[in-house]
Amino acid sequence: MIGIPIGLLYASAGEWLIHRYFLHGPSADDGESSHARAHHRNARRFRMYDPDYEQLLIGWNAPTKELLGLGALAAVHLPLFPLAPFFTGTVLYSLVRYFRVHRRAHLDPAWAESNLPWHVDHHLSREAESNWGISRPWVDHWMGTRKVRRRGKSLSRKRLATRRRTRARKS
pLDDT in tens, 38-97: 888 999 999 999 999 998 778 888 888 899 999 999 999 999 999 999 999 999 999 999
Please tell me the pTM assigned to this model.
0.81
Express each pLDDT in 13-47 by its tens digit: 999 999 998 888 765 555 445 566 788 899 999 99
Closest CA to 118 of 140, 89, 88, 143: 140
Identify the three-state secondary structure at position 149: strand
Look at the chain and count its residues: 171
Closest CA to 35 of 67, 71, 73, 78: 67
Domain of 59? 3-170
Residue 120: pLDDT band (50, 70, 90) is very high
- Count Cα neighbours of 29 within 13 Å in the Cβ-side half-sphere: 3
Counted domains in the chain: 1
| Alpha carbon distance 54, 74 (integer Å) | 23
